[in-house]
Amino acid sequence: MKLEELRKIRERVQNDLRLRGGAARVKIVVGMGTSGIAAGAREVLSAFLDEIEKRKLTDVIVTQSGEKGLASKEPIVEVIERDHPKVVYGGMTAEKARRVVVEHVIHGTVVEGDVLAIVDAEKE
Amino acid sequence: MDKLRVKIDGRTILAAPGKTILEVAAENGIHIPTLCHLDGLRDVGACRLCIVDLYGQLVTSCTTKVADGMEIGTQTETVRAYRRTILELLFAEGNHVCSFCVSNGGCELQDLACELDMHSVRVPYTYRRERVDATHPRFLIDRDRCVLCGRCVRVCQEVEGAHTWGFAERGATARVITDLAVPWGTAESCTSCGKCVEVCPTGAIARKGASNAEMRKHPDLVAELTERRARG
Amino acid sequence: MGKVKVATVWFSGCAGCHMSFLDIDEVLIDLAGRIEFCNSPITDLKVFPEGGVDVTLVEGAIGNEEQLELARTVRAKSKIVIALGDCAVTGNVPALRNGIPPRELIEEIYGTSRTTNGALPYEVVPRLLERVRPLHEVIPVDYFLHGCPPPAGLIAKAVLALLDGKTPELTGADLKFG
Amino acid sequence: MAGRLDVLVCSGGACMSSHSLEVKEELVRQLEAHHLADEVRIVETGCMGPCQYGPLVLVYPEGVLYKNVAAADVAEIVSEHFLKGRVVERLLFRSETADRIIQERRSIPFFEKQMKIVLANCGAINPESIEEYIGAGGYEALGKAVTTMTPEGVVAEMKASGLRGRGGAGFPTGTKWDFVRREKSPKKVVVCNADEGDPGAFMDRAVLEGDPHTVIEGMAIAAYAVGAQHGYVYVRAEYPLAIKRLRSALEAARKLGFLGDRIFETAFSFDIEIRVGAGAFVCGEETALIASLEGRRGVPRIRPPYPSTSGMWQLPTLLNNVETYANVRHIVARGSAWFASIGTEQSKGTKVFALSGNVRNTGLVEVPMGTTIGELIYDIGGGVPNGKRLKAIQTGGPSGGCIPVPYLNTPISYETLKELGAIVGSGGVIVLDEDTCMVNLARYFVEFTASESCGQCVPCRSGLVRMLDILDRITRGEGAMDDLALLEELANTIKRSSLCGLGQTAPNPVLSTLQYFRDEYEEHIRHKTCPAAVCAALFVAPCEASCPAHVDVPAYVAHLSNGDFAKAFDIHMKTNPLPGICGRVCYAFCETKCQRAQIEEPVAIRDLKRSMADYAMEHKLAGPKPRARNGQRVAVVGSGPAGLSCGYFLAQLGYETVLFEALPIAGGTMATGIPTYRLPRDILKADIDRIVRAGVEIKLLSPVEDLDELLADGYGAVFVATGAMKAQTLALGDPLPRGVVTGVDFLKGIHVDGTSEVGAEVVVIGGGNSAIDSARAARRLGAKHVTIAYRRAKADMPASPEEIAEAIEEGVEILDMTSPTGVVGGGRVEGLRCARMAAGPFDASGRRRPVESDQAEIVLPTSMVIVAVGQEATGELLRGAGIEVAKGGLVPVDPVTMSTSRPGIFAGGDATSGPATVVEAIGAGRRAAIAIDRFLGGNGILEPEERVEVATDYDEDAYTQERARAVPPMAAAGTRIRSFAEVRGRFAKEQAIEEARRCLHCDRKQTEDGVCCGSSAGEAAGATTR
């Protein structure tokens, strides 16, 4: 074992432990109420997780929330970035989820067409 | 070798390095009471009766080596009081009934009561009740009279090399045992050399059938033996 | 000057200490002129003097309720109490029964005895204490005379010192038990 | 696919014993069932800390902490939280101070003030995964040390860090390392002492179970620094889980090359073996530990030589404790300067404490050195539960000492605790509440050390047993005052002359309790009482022991359970002649000690008493017959509870007794101060009339001005019970506008003078019962809005919680942390200016002192201000009789005889104690009556007959089953505020009988053959140890 090897292990494992750090840059919240799940929120959630894994994003966490009260727009997803307003997407699909990861999460460009609302953090 | 300068009870004394306070005191005619110490055996500092005052710290003189500039009090109020309390504790934990003891008149514990001015035992007595082990053909042990000084254990290990005697249990139930706590008479390692009898400071280990007048012990035997062995 | 009032009492012990007291020989004559014996097994005076005494010598350990009671009376009515001999000082031989329940003891001693026909003395004699105790465990004691029995000379030394109004110097070999 | 949730299940020892593994298994099943196994990862971790609330489940990324999770809760957590994102609120932590739920782990007060260095990984990673350890930065420090630092450099870092031995002695770790490093020996050994043996200490176990690699890494760094090749961990056999995890950690470390040959491809080689100890406490002592490691009898030997020069196999040996090693990697990785910046001048870093005893949040906590004791107990520990008062904390286990309440502001460090006679020790902290008997506590520790002494040296072996004898004697009520001196002498002899640390520290629990709680020892010896009602030989039952009047509660409750109200009443009258009053306004100290609370709730003793008293009143029962008159006369000044009680018992003893009362009515504060909705005046009158019928003469409108006149009048003795009627005031303005009154005057106005003027808006200042009484009375007189302004926190109000709750129901608003500074208004008061307060340091009472906050002053608009901030005695009458009067008008008296410095003059009640309770005054009056009897030549015996245990005639076993406490009917708040009618109703007769049968009969201690005949809870009550 060399020091460099140790550090390699650490980097690998740290990705694994990122959930517990509480210091994620971006938090993606998938609405998983009854209507959300009926509209395909499970697939959306899986797509997010898969895409994040593929792109080795260590500072993004995916979590879930309950009913948002806007059944017609489900699945609904919120993207919360530190120091940015919250972006709420509606009518998500697995495909759109992958796009949000690439464009919004990685490149910082909101995927305009699917946005339901942009909410300032203070107003909540 | 350079001598160290120490002060014992106000007297300045030159001492050889590597010696214990007890040795230096004895060489200079200063008596310090002892019980578990015996010339020729390794010192363990268990009975605590030889404590002396280093003015700030109490140490057992049998285990503490002299150091240059050391100031030692062997008879300060503090150590005298503590020694007396410790002696009372010894008397209280056993059944030290001198009047019918085979060592009456030849007992180090009895002598210590005189030496340390012990008028009465202020703590409650325990009244221990242990069976006398008289299974050995020549010797017996009355554990009620044992002070757990460990001299029998050490002489058996260090001089005889038989390792028959040992300690068992702890706290108030600690006691000396032969082999793995078997009756002495059945302890196979025992060579029946009798050194334990000679070093036992009280009447706990004694020769069978000996009258009080006959039961005089010779603990100095050990020092003689070890010295002779050293000379080869 | 009036005579010094002296009492002696005898609890659980063998009377050997009293014998030793008598062994002080010619000193007894000297003492006779200076002390008044108030209560003592020797004089067979059975009631402890109401008015109190100067010195009481106590032989024996405290083994039963009567002795405990009397020991307290002795303390209340004596200026100086001396524990005389190893039984009073340490419990000595009588205390060897400690650890055996009194009931068992009585049954062992009386229950199997031919002379008592197995009758057990529960009511007529004072009840045994759970443990035999040295005198100072039940009352404060001023001086301790060691020995089984204490040598006559030691007793004489202590008593004479007290008669001279001095504190008996008990030290070294004076403190030999047994 | 990457995980979405990490679910950490605590599998520390405490959580495992509350079945956390079942929770984990159920989680696995539920995740499978919901097809979440890929997204949710379950991690078994070491101890998370708040053991009280186990099993604990921590869910990331949100950081939601669930407590007391049962397997049955798992389905809900999975379907609600993991699937739908709805946190399961009922399993969350709740704030102790405010009524709110706390979701995230980091905002739970228990964690807020902690700083986790040693425990950083405990509860956060899987202890059986070396990868997780590495992910958390593990083995980086070892790599750094062996590849970039010299051994001297490592030692220098340790020295500079200021780390001190965490095993208890606090020896500088770097210095010890330096000793070993300097030894010229080709072979050296490092040893980890994991023989954690203090009762109540479990920090080493938590580290070994929760983060074993941190210890391995620390030992490896140490070995590198001192030049050792072999390491041993000496761990007690009682820690099988720690052994198992350590063993698997060692294997994993070897596999990755952190142990073994050429570590990090350097010349450094090192390996570790586990040695399992057989559980002797003394083996925590280093020389005994080494003896045991070598396979010999585990007894200490004299030092020097120290292990650093001659330890295991006579080799230079470095011996440190688990927690010490756990600090090492952090110091190496982050630098000594960082470490030295934490803590106090001489005590650096953090310390792990195991909080246990009477504290809300028991468990493991880690705080920076310098954290105050109060912060540890209150902010982290959550304070003392069940409404009990803190008495002391015990630190350092059997080698440590007690620290009483006045020292809560002491910052924790090796030096400060030592100064107080305690020690940091290994970190066990036992919180003790008012129900702890300090003598019994000391006895417990001495019993422990006496049986754990190795038996080698005389002072420890024989001395501790003798100390135990003496302590036993004292707890049985057979102690003498001389025993305390002997106990101290033995303690000092053992402390100063024992061979090893065990003996040298074993007397500490006795010495420190003697230092701070000597009065408690003296209570046991002089008065044969155990104030905490623990030492079973000294009382009938805990209720009786805690009653200031020592009413034989078990006896009268037993009579009630048999339906015999008259006999119950007779028993009560033997010690307390005011049952009607006490059945309503008593503080019911008895109920706070009632052992029934261990099953559900205390027996409703006060309500039972009321039923009995009402029965006696309605049936015109008189109570026990007094003795024939003996012809002697005694005067009593004041007709409050103390005076009435003293007068009654004097009459029972045959004295002709005259009570002098200055006012036109009898009863003292009971008549002038306690509102009628709590104590109807016909009840007061009935109790007083019964005393008059028993032979006491009461002279109203007869103020006494000169005690000597009374004595000259032929009274053989005088009992002065003039109360504490003078209201304390606040400087709110000069001159005060109209509308500012004292609580005393306000309540007296209502009940004696018949005035009833009240403003629409009323502010009451104060936090005691008279403040509550004033507020509730004001509501009844028509005040629209009543506010109580109190300068401390609501939880610190001295008023009874029951009264406070009832006041709030009646619309009284309580504004705490509010301290009045002045009134607003000219002719008539218009408002009250108040400063807003913040919680400051702890005061001698153990409460936080209110200090001015930076919030702006507020003005409470009001037309009336009632100042109810306390009352005091004047002591005038006694001063006039030449008796010295202390500050606050209080007269010093003997607590048993109530006699003043002047023979023949006795005093009691509020006049000598300051404002207290009715039942305390009754007790004082009775004690005085007994003492007066003795003074006048009597024998002072009120009850010649021995206590008889009351037989009961129902199926007791049936009543030891859980059974709710009976609640008497209460008037609705809306009805209550319309009149001064009594608020609380009473039990129906059958209901009272049923309730009385809930009594567990703690008075029945042992039958002749030594078998306890009570129920299991009854046994608990009779036991001397808690």
Q: Please compute the mean of the pLDDT values over residues A1-25 and round it to a whole number.
A: 81
Distance of CA A41 to the CA centre of its chain: 12
Partners of C143 on chain B (C-beta within 8 Å) are: 119
| Res D1015: pLDDT | 32
* Touching pair A, C by Cβ (3+ pairs < 8 Å): no
Contacts of D299 in chain B (CB under 8 A): 167
Q: Strand B11-15 vs strand B4-8: parallel, antiparallel, or unpaired? A: antiparallel
Nearest to B60 by CA among B83, B30, B40, B81: B83
Asked if residues D648 and D694 have their Cβ atoms less than 8 Å apart, the reply is yes
Compare CB distances from D302 to B58, B60, B90 and report the shortest one's residue.
B60
What is the spatial distance between Cα D654 and Cα D988, in angstroms, rounded to a whole number?
37
Mean of the per-residue pLDDT values for chain C?
Answer: 90
Tokens of B151: 């001299």
Determine contact: A97 vs chain D, CB below 8 A: no
Q: What is the mean pLDDT of residues B44-64?
A: 96
**CB–CB contact D280 B82 (8 Å):** no
Residue D1014 confidence (pLDDT) above 50? no
Q: What is the DSSP string of D99-166?
A: S-EE-BGGGSHHHHT---STTTTTTTS-TT-HHHHHHTTTTHHHHHHHHH--HHHHHHHHHHHT-B-T
Helix (H, G, I), strand (E, B), or coil: what is residue D462? helix
Rounded Cα distance, D277 and D532, in Å: 38
| Contact across the interface for D85 and A22, Cβ inside 8 Å | no
B213 inside 8 A of chain D by CB: no
- The overall average pLDDT reported for chain D is 92
SS3 call for B33: coil
Given a contact as 3+ CB pairs under 8 Å, which chains touch A? D
Q: Is C178 on the interface with B (CB under 8 A)?
A: yes
Residue D100: its pLDDT value, please? 66
Q: Are the Cβ atoms of B174 and D454 closer than 8 angstroms?
A: yes
Please report which confidence band the pLDDT of residue D943 belongs to, taking 50, 70 and 90 as the band edges.
confident
**D634 beta partners:** D657, D717
Region D281-302 average pLDDT? 95
Taking contacts as CB-CB distances below 8 angstroms, the residues of chain B near C92 are 97, 99
Whether the predicted pLDDT of D316 surpasses 90: yes
Please determine, for residue D1011, whether its predicted confidence score (pLDDT) is greater than 50. Answer: no
Residue-level pLDDT at D986: 94
Decide if pLDDT at D476 tops 90.
yes
Least confident residue range of C60-64, D439-443, D552-556, D748-752: D748-752
CB-based contact (8 Å) between B171 and chain D?
Answer: yes
Of C25-34, C105-114, D779-788, least confident by mean pLDDT is: C105-114
Mean pLDDT of D880-904: 91
8 Å CB contact of D461 and B172: yes
Q: Chain B closest CA to D474's CA: distance in Å? A: 14
What distance in Å separates the CA atoms of residue D492 and residue D507, rounded to the nearest whole number?
Answer: 8
Q: Smallest Cβ distance to C93: which of B97, B105, B121?
A: B97
Distance CA A106, CA B106 (A): 96
> According to the model, what pLDDT value does residue D1026 have?
29
CA distances from D176 to D165, D170, D225, D290 (A): 9, 11, 11, 16
pLDDT band at residue D200 using 50, 70 and 90 as cut-offs: confident
3 state SS for D481-504? HHHHHHHHHHHHHHHHHCCCHHHH
Q: Strands B205-207, C4-10: parallel, antiparallel or unpaired by DSSP?
A: unpaired
Please answer yes or no on whether C177 and B110 come within 8 Å at the CB atom.
Answer: yes
Asked if A6's CB is within 8 angstroms of D136's CB, the reply is no
- What pLDDT shows up at residue A22? 61
Q: How close A112 gets to chain D, by Cα (Å)? A: 26
C151: burial class by Cβ within 10 Å (0-12, 13-18, 19+)?
middle
Per the CB < 8 Å rule, is B46 touching D496?
A: no
pLDDT tier at B1, thresholds 50, 70, 90: low
Q: Which helix (H) or strand (E) holds A81?
A: strand A77-81
Residue D757's CB is within 10 A of a number of other CB atoms, namely 12
Beta strands in D195-270 (DSSP E): 230-236
Which residue in chain D has the smallest CA separation from A29? Answer: D85
| CA proximity to D769, closest of D673, D873, D667, D660 | D673
Provide the β-strand partners of residue B11.
B8
Inter-chain contacts counted by CB atoms under 8 A, chains B and D: 101
Quick check: B212 contacting C, CB < 8 Å?
A: no
Report pLDDT for D97: 58
**pLDDT band per the 50, 70, 90 thresholds, residue C15:** very high
Query: Is the model's pLDDT at D1009 over the cut of 50?
Result: no
Position of tokens 């050296």? D188
Chain A residues with CB-CB distance to D62 below 8 A? 63
pLDDT at D1010: 36
**Residue-level pLDDT at A49:** 86
Tell me how crowded residue D3 is: count the other CB atoms within 10 A of its CB: 22
CB contact under 8 A, D5 and A20: no
Angle (deg, nearest 10), helices D322-334 and D212-226 = 70
Using a CB–CB cutoff of 8 Å, tell me whether A106 touches chain D: no
Question: How does residue B6 score in pLDDT terms, banded at 50, 70 and 90?
Answer: very high
D189 CA: distance to closest CA in chain B (Å): 24
Chain D contacts to B (CB-CB under 8 A) = 280, 282, 297, 299, 301-302, 450-459, 461-466, 469-470, 486, 489-490, 493, 496-499
Residue D920 Cα distances to D472, D649, D837, D874, angstroms: 30, 15, 33, 19
Mapping DSSP to helix (H, G, I), strand (E, B) and coil, where does residue D174 land? helix
Q: Are D808 and D779 in contact (CB under 8 A)?
A: no
Contacts of B97 in chain C (CB under 8 A): 86, 90, 92-93, 95-96, 178
Task: Give the least confident one: A27-31, C151-155, D273-277, D636-640.
Answer: A27-31
pLDDT at D947: 85
Q: What is the DSSP secondary structure assignment for residue B29, as one 8-state letter? A: T
Q: Supply the pLDDT for residue D188.
A: 98
- In angstroms, the separation between the Cα of residue C177 and the nearest Cα of chain B is 6
ipTM: 0.89
Candidate from D86, D143, D144 with C-beta closest to A66 = D86
Residue B213 clears pLDDT 90, i.e. is over it: no
Average pLDDT score over residue span D23-34: 93
Token pair 């102690």 is found at D479
Neighbors of chain C by Cβ distance (3+ pairs < 8 Å): B
**How far off is chain B from C95, nearest CA to CA, in Å?**
8
Provide the edge-to-edge strand list for the sheet that holds D271-277: D271-277, D230-236, D189-194, D317-321
> Out of D6, D82, D263, whose CB is closest to A19?
D6
State whether A13 and D134 contact (CB < 8 Å).
yes
Q: In Å, what is the CA distance from C118 to each residue of C112, C121, D831?
A: 6, 9, 94
pLDDT of residue D189: 98
Short-list B156, B153, B158, B149, CA closest to B226: B158
CA distance D701 to D689: 17
Residues of D with Cβ-Cβ distance to A65 under 8 angstroms = 84-86
Give the pLDDT of residue A124: 41
Residues 97-116 on C with a CB inside 8 Å of B are: 98-99
The sign one gets for the Cα dihedral D1004, D1005, D1011, D1017 is positive
Least confident of A24-33, A92-101, D40-49: A24-33
The answer to whether D429 and D354 are in contact (CB under 8 A) is yes
- What are the structure tokens assigned to D864, written together? 């009336």
pLDDT at C1: 53
Q: Residue B124's closest chain C neighbor by CA?
A: C137
C-alpha dihedral, D152 to D154 to D156 to D159, nearest 10°: -140
User: B175: nearest CA in chain D?
Assistant: D455
pLDDT per position as a tens digit, D378-406: 999 999 988 889 999 999 999 999 999 99
What does chain C come to in residues?
178
- Helices D212-226 and D173-182: crossing angle in degrees, nearest 10, is 50
Q: Which residues pair with C145 in a beta bridge?
A: C84
Cβ contact B33:B49 at 8 Å? yes
**Nearest CA distance, D344 vs chain A (angstrom):** 29
State residue D1019's pLDDT score. Answer: 33
- Spatial neighbors of D387 by CB under 8 A, at least 6 apart, are D592, D801
By percentage, how much of chain D surpasses pLDDT 90?
A: 80
Check CB contact of B221 with chain C, cutoff 8 Å.
Answer: no
- pTM here? 0.88
User: Could you tell me which chain D residue has the CA closest to the CA of A1?
Assistant: D264
Q: Which two tokens stand for residue D338?
A: 């960082």
- Mutation pick from D7, D84, D126, D329 vs chain A, by most beta carbons of A within 10 Å, is D84
- D96 falls in which pLDDT band (50, 70, 90)? low
Q: What is the rounded distance in angstroms from the CA atom of residue B154 to the CA atom of residue B160?
A: 9
Q: Which residues of A touch D257 (CB under 8 A)?
A: 1
Q: pLDDT tens-digit profile of D61-80?
A: 888 899 999 999 999 999 88
* Stretch D293-302: mean pLDDT: 94
CA distance A41 to chain D (A): 10
- Please say whether the beta carbons of A76 and A31 come within 8 A: yes
pLDDT at D1016 over 50: no
φ and ψ of D555, to 5 deg:
-70, -50
**Angle (deg, nearest 10), helices D605-618 and D681-693:** 60
Of the candidates D119, D142, D118, the one whose C-alpha atom is nearest the C-alpha of residue D333 is D142
